[in-house]
Structures are given as structure tokens and as C-alpha cells.
Chain A
Amino acid sequence: MEPDKLSIQQLHQELVDKKISAVELAKFFLDKIKKEDGDIRSFITITEDLALKQARMADEIIAKEKEELPLLGGIPCAIKDNILIDGIKCTSASKILENYTAPYDATVVKKLKDQGAVILGKTNMDEFAMGSSTENSAFFVTKNPRDTSRVPGGSSGGSAAATAAGFCKFALGSDTGGSIRQPASFCGVVGLKPTYGAVSRYGAMAFASSLDQIGPFARNSEDCRIVFDAIKGRDPLDSTSLDASESQEEFDLKNLKIGVPKEYFVAGMDKDVEKTIKDAIEKYEEMGAKIVEVSLPHTEYALPCYYIIATAEASANLARYDGIKYGSSEVNNPEVKDLLEVYIKSREKYFGSEVKRRIMLGTYVLSSGYYDAYYKRAQKVRTLIKNDFEKALSQADILLTPVSPTLPFKIGEKMDDPLSMYLSDIYTISINLAGVGALSLPAGWVDLPSGRLPVGMQLIAKPFEEKKMFQAAAAFEKIN
């Protein structure tokens, strides 16, 4: 048996049948991480004690026989380092939280722990989830396991890389503008950005609260669905979370209408990416789905709209890192004289440059004299973008688009040009503005002289229709 190759369902059966114990399984993955993560560097913290404690708990349930082992009991996973686990360091890959220990469990973590899932560690990311390559981590760069000269995408690059490298069965990430879907695409795994409100954000470090969602990474859509089912639902601790009456209807692929937004296939897209996505559309057509062209006319405004709204919210959210309540501080620096200087010196010293850039932009667009021209206008454009999706999704069951306009790029390639880095999120950003859900799954591979690279496609459905995306994804996986 190769535990890193089995699905969650298969592994669950192995555990129940006592072919392997949860502790043995945990040790297998911890060993694999120790041996192989030196090259990839997907983890910031390894939580060996917690993993073994959870594994022993799962083994006790299995030993009891009468009690049923939950589906995720004993299954090894990884958590992005902006999601809190009680008693474990949580850094958001920032120097300002380098020594911060979480005082409680995020709701998603509590739900996983309650099932007996085995948490192996905390994964690397762009600082405070701001970035598209995981190069903005204050600690180190994570490499793409498919080609170690390339980035794994971001901001949840550590979670995507760990899943792709087989260091865990699934991982949690967060997605504010593509931070789950783009790294899933770059690393050749499945990633879900749930509908806004489907998953509790309690215990996730806030970046842009009206856009942030936690979601799963896995090696296939079935595993991804299992994890989503485990973490979703209304949480009294997050007033924006809700129990959606998810549509339960099964559909026949022959009745599925797939919308392809014409604005997403324009100049600037890598030719290999374009061909892979067009091939995938053809495959759906061969399976009997009906392909229709739809329009998202305000697409060109999505990125500028996002960089106003997301930075505005971030500038407010990140005000909490002040050197007083928690985190790194310059309070004991003898040159620091008063409270204001504690704020300024602490933030200046411990925030990275991308974080500063976004706080500055957010402060600018909210400042007196600019508010109407930037922030308020962006909020109106957001309405237009949301309306675009409502209309397109009334003409089709799901939309199919690329995830990223390019293949995974080289480490260092875009670090000196923030704007070109922002453009790598062009196909994912509108989804967060509209609040709908989207799934990224491997569409195919591109052969380069240096090796094969994955290309992801994005399936988008109406709010709370995750099931439809998972079914469409499973149908595609079956024929590939």
C-alpha cells in the first residue's frame, strides 16, 4: 500500500479494516515530510505532537468497534498558517507574528479535530495571504513540486505544494482573490473557493473580510468534496456564515449547459494554456454537455476594482498589528518614546514590502478626498460584476474558464514588478467580488523541454451550488 496514493475513502477503509493504524499513517507522512520537504519547503511548522495525539484518538475509536470512525478520522492534513490552531504558532508568514501562539481553534480546525483528522503542520504562504507566488513569505520560498525552479502559486502555495507532493491527504487554504485556485492550478491539484458564507471564517486571520473564504485542497474532486462537507455550515461565531440549502438534485451531464465567457479568451493568455482549456471544453462537449458562449462584460474592471476593495479592507484589518496587543513589538527599543512610535516602528520593522504597499493603497483610497473617486466607485463596479455573473449563470449551469493566464512562472520572475504579479489573478478575482463559488481542477498537462507542467481549469456555479461543480469535475476526471 502507498498511503500517499490512496483516496480519503480508500484510506478510511484501510483504517477501519485495521490494515494500517492512524499512528502508523501519521508517522508515514511525518517521515515523508522530513525526508522530502527540505527541497520543497511547504511547511513553516510541523505539529508532530498534535498529529500523534489526534492519530491515537482515531485509533481508539477504531479499537472500540461500536463507534463509527468519521470519514476524516486518522486522515493526515495540513493547515495554512493564517488559520489558528490552539497552542500552535500561527505566523501568517509574517515577521510581525513570528512568535505568536494561537489562543484558540478556528472553527474549521475544531471541525477537523472533532472528526479525528491528523494535523501534520502549518503551511507556508505569502505574508498575510498577499501575493500570487508564496515568494512574499517573510521566511522562505516554497517550490513547485512539479518543477522546483518554479513557484507553486499563491498565496496558499504551501498547502498546494504539500498536497501535490503527497505530504498530506488534504490541506486547507484561504482564497481572497484566487489564493486557493491559482496554486491548485500551478501544482496540479484540486482546490475549492467555496461560496462566500459557506465556511466559517472564525479563527482565520482577516485580510479582506468581504472576500476571504477558507477552502480545501486535495488530489481529486471527491476528496475535496469530503473535506468541504466537513468544514461548511453556519457558525454562531461568524455572523457572515450561513447554512445554505444546497441543491441536492443529481444532474445528467447531457443536460448540463456550460457557459464559456468570451472575455476570458483574449490576447495575453499563454498559447499552451489556451489550447489545454479549449481541449477540456471539447471533452465536455463529447461527453454530451452543451457549450454556450456567455458574456461577463465588466471583466476588464475586476482587477482594479479588487485592488481598491481588498486593500481598503486590508488597511483596516491589519491595523490590529500595533505592537501592543500581540506580535512583534519595538516597545522596548530605547529610541521609541511614545505610543505612536511603538505603532510606527513596530509596523515598519516587521511588515514586508507587499503588505506595506497594500496598506498604503487601502489607506489612500479610503482617505478624505479620494473615497468617492476610488472606494465608492469600486463598490458600484462590484455590483456590476456581480450582476454579470448572475446573468451569465442564468444562461448556463456552470461557467468554465482558465484559472491562470500563464503556466507556473519561474521563481523570481515577477518579484520586481508588483503589477505583473497582480495580473496573474485576472481570471480568479471576479469570483470573490461576486461571492460565488469556484473549483480549480487539473485540465491537462503541457510538455516543455524541462518537463511537464499542469494547467488548471475553473468551474464556477451559482452561490451554494458546490455540488454541481464537484459532479462536473468528477465526470471530467473519469475520462482522463
Chain B
Amino acid sequence: MVSEEEIKHIAKLSRLDFSESQLEKFQKEFSAILEYVETLEKADVEGVEPMSHSVKISNIFSDDNFNQQGTRINDNKKLLEAAPESKGDYLKSKSVF
């Protein structure tokens, strides 16, 4: 069983929060899932290379042109409008400290 402390620590890293009442249920479910994924311990991976991607492609580069490649967004206003708070051409956030 993963401890309550540990769940709280992972929640903090995840930028999530659980109320005390949710915590117990979550702790149980989380522990069961973790126990299940631990079956991977049995797999023999001696000498096996890890893979992160299934297709063998190497780096693909785009020309360094502003607004030419890499996006289909042609109007920054749309992006600013999507923000909960903005000021002028900037996103607005609360203070960090």
C-alpha cells in the first residue's frame, strides 16, 4: 500500500490536490493499479534497449521562418482570447511568490 504521505507528495508534483475524503479511496485504487503494473518486474529485460518511439525516423528540421512553418495559427488574437486573463498582448498570471 502506498502511504498517504507519498500520495500527497505525488499530488504536489502533479499540481493536483485531494480532499481528505477522496484521499483514502484514491490511495486504495492507486495501490491496486501500482501492484498490477509491478508485474513488469518478472520480465527479463537483460541487454534489451529501451525504446521511446515505434518508427525509426531521425531529426526533421524546418526552415527557420517566422509564421511560415510549424503552425497553422495566423492570428495571435485568437490565442489571447482563449486565455482566462490577458493584458495587451500578454497573458496575465498571479504573482509567483
Contacts and interface: CB of A to CB of B under 8 A. Distances in A.
Interface in B44-94: 45, 48-55, 57, 60, 62, 69-75, 78-79, 82-85, 91, 93-94
B52 A197 contact: no
B48 A344 contact: no
A361 B84 contact: no
B16 A364 contact: no
A174 B67 CA distance: 28
Interface residues of A, number: 79
Given A307-B37, A342-B94, A343-B15, A100 B82 contact: yes
Given A242-B55, A379-B50, A380-B45, A236 B40 contact: no
B37 A101 contact: no
A381 interface: yes
B43 A210 contact: no
B39 interface: yes
Interface residues of B, number: 54
Interface stretch (A11-19, A42-50, A330-338): A330-338
A325 B40 contact: no
Contact of B91 (A325, A327, A338): A325
Interface in A294-317: 298, 300-301, 303-305, 307-308, 315
Contacts of B91: 324-325
Contacts of A197: 55, 57
Contact of B16 (A100, A360, A367): A360
A298 B29 CA distance: 26
Contact of A383 (B18, B37, B49, B70): B49
Nearest to B85: A331
Interface in A6-46: none
Given A237-B71, A356-B16, A419-B32, A301 B43 contact: yes
A351 B16 contact: yes
A340 B75 CA distance: 29
A364 to B, nearest CB: 5
Contact of A419 (B26, B33, B57, B72): B33
Contacts of B50: 376, 379-380, 382-383
What secondary structure prevails in chain A residues at the interface with B? helix
Contact of A110 (B17, B18, B26, B72): B72
Interface in A89-139: 100-101, 103-105, 107, 110
Contacts of A448: none
A308 B82 contact: no
A405 interface: no
A65 to B, nearest CB: 32
B27 to A, nearest CB: 11
A363 B93 contact: no
B14 interface: yes
B53 A324 contact: no
Interface in A375-412: 376-384, 386
Interface in A440-480: 463
Contacts of A326: 79, 82-84
Contacts of A162: none
A103 B79 contact: yes
Interface in A352-380: 356-357, 359-361, 363-365, 367, 373-374, 376-380
Interface string A411-445: 00000001100100000000001111000000000
Contacts of B55: 196-197, 240, 242, 435, 463
A100 B26 CA distance: 29
A203 interface: yes
Contacts of A337: 94
Contact of A344 (B15, B34, B52, B85): B15
Nearest to A196: B54
A322 interface: yes
By CB atoms of chain A within 10 A, which of B11, B41, B53, B96 has the most?
Answer: B53
Contacts of A193: none
A364 B34 contact: yes
Given A101-B82, A361-B30, A377 B60 contact: no
Contacts of B33: 307, 357, 361, 418-419, 422
Nearest to A359: B14
A169 B72 CA distance: 28
Nearest to A202: B72
By CB atoms of chain A within 10 A, which of B14, B38, B40, B69 has the most?
Answer: B14
A386 B51 contact: yes
A348 interface: yes
A301 B45 CA distance: 12
Contact of B45 (A323, A332, A344, A377): A377
15 contacts: A239-B60, A240-B53, A301-B39, A304-B38, A307-B37, A308-B37, A325-B83, A339-B95, A365-B37, A376-B50, A379-B51, A380-B50, A382-B51, A384-B45, A463-B55
Interface of B: 7, 10-11, 13-18, 26, 29-30, 32-34, 36-43, 45, 48-55, 57, 60, 62, 69-75, 78-79, 82-85, 91, 93-97
A-B pairs, 10 with minimum CB distance:
A435-B54, A379-B50, A329-B84, A103-B78, A326-B82, A380-B45, A304-B37, A239-B60, A104-B72, A348-B17
